[in-house]
Structure 1
């Protein structure tokens, strides 16, 4: 469907459908097509936090969870 066809069809949509379109356009404008809100750079605070967490993980690697454990917790919460 071309842009012209989409634009021509918009007035024919119900108010609820138009609202859905509006919400999706707002979402795309905010998060982009890939769904991420990303300006491409980490802040200095984010970088420091990542460095701190990497150092803590290196000091005590057994303190964290494996991906399998994390995934199991997520699936358990979703099943509730």
Structure 2
């Protein structure tokens, strides 16, 4: 099956089938999201450090995984134009 054929079939899938495909693609990509040739900028590093410090000072201030997952899933299932 060609890439064009795959892309044409995607809209015909259920949301659960598309979710499974997203998970499989993430699995196949592994941790390759961080390109060694494109390291974090100083601003990005500072932001990560600040967020880690905020978490360490009050670990209960954030959302649980269940809450985060629910928000993500509701956005994925929502229409594109709201």
Provide TM-score, normalisation by structure 2: 0.46
Structure with larger RCO (C-alpha < 8 A, sep 6+):
2
Give the alignment's TM-score, normalised by structure 1.
0.47
